Amino acid sequence: MSAPSLKRQNLHIPSHIVLGIWSFIVIFPLWIMIINSFKDRLSIYQNPFGLPKEWNIANYGMVLSDGDFLVYFRNSFVVVVLSLIIVLIVGSMAGYALANWRGKLSRGLYFFCIAGMMLPIKIASIRLLELVKAMGLLNTIWALIPIYTAMGVPIAIFILTEFIREVPYELTEAAIIDGAGRFGVFARIITPLLRPALASVAIYNLVPFWNDLWFPLIFISDDRAKTVLLGVTRLFGQYQTDWSKVLAVLTLSAIPVIALYLVASKQFIKGLTAGAVKG
């Protein structure tokens, strides 16, 4: 091996060490959660970091046999999927409009939209509760969708507007010459090129939507409309907590997140390696 190639390899060692440490920090809590979900409550306290002596799948059986938790999973899935779809549609169309609308008013509107990234929506919880009650959405999963949409649209506009601005104008010009209208250009030219950026937006918003406990706790008290994390609070008692069931529920709730993340990350990685759009 030549000296230059050996030197290049040595330069990558610090980055590999940092990535290894970061991977351990991320994976270790997941590992603890999964292995402890197969233990009984006493074994968790006796040996929280080791493998279970006997793999106990009864925790998962009890969770799956409880119909309420299946309802909680369904509620979370419906809310997250619909919220992501709305965020991607609104964000992509707004980004397309702002990217092609040049002027001081468009820049002001753009900065007004992305200002939502700087202001935590939780500070308006009382006012949002009043609005949800006025719309008759209290104690329903539909109360969460407009809230999550408002949370996700600013970052979607920020990412998608900048991405669309990098699309070569010759592509849209050629489509217009061929007779395509603005919506036709957006649907046939822009949208296919937006897949990596859409994946980035979906990944960025997926975890906050799924793991949110604040707004379900405020808006929902009906058991049939609770989300997964809100339903988990049922397992926390005043004097003791059934951690084996709690960890089993959390492990099952992580599966849709990981699955959706893997599906979206393929497009995300593809966009990075392909260099996105080149003029």
Summarised one tens digit per residue, pLDDT across range 230-241 is 888 877 765 567
As given in the structure block, the two tokens for residue 47 are 């040996």
Give the model's pLDDT for residue 117. 79
Find, among 227, 219, 230, the residue nearest to 72 by Cα: 227
**Most confident of the following: 114-118, 144-148, 183-187:** 144-148
Summarised one tens digit per residue, pLDDT across range 51-88 is 888 888 888 888 778 667 888 889 999 999 999 999 99
As given in the structure block, the two tokens for residue 215 are 């707004």
As given in the structure block, the two tokens for residue 266 are 């393929």
The interaxial angle of helices 67-100 and 243-274, nearest 10 deg, is 30
As given in the structure block, the two tokens for residue 267 are 């497009």
What does the domain layout of the chain look like in residue ranges?
Answer: 66-274
**Most confident of the following: 60-69, 189-198, 215-224:** 215-224
H/E element, 39: none
Grouping H, G, I as helix, E, B as strand and the rest as coil, residue 227 is coil
CATH number for the domain whose boundaries are 66-274: 1.10.3720.10
Neighbours of 80 (CB within 10 A): 25
Summarised one tens digit per residue, pLDDT across range 8-27 is 555 567 778 888 898 889 88
Q: What is the number of residues in the chain? A: 279
C-alpha radius of gyration, the chain, whole number: 23
| Cβ 148 vs Cβ 83: under 8 Å | yes
Whole-number Å distance between alpha carbons of 56 and 64: 14
* DSSP 8-state secondary structure symbol assigned to residue 194: T
| Cβ 91 vs Cβ 156: under 8 Å | yes
Whole-number Å distance between alpha carbons of 81 and 210: 10
Whole-number Å distance between alpha carbons of 176 and 131: 43
Summarised one tens digit per residue, pLDDT across range 162-191 is 888 887 777 777 777 777 777 777 878 788
Give the model's pLDDT for residue 243. 80
Grouping H, G, I as helix, E, B as strand and the rest as coil, residue 99 is helix
pTM of the model: 0.82
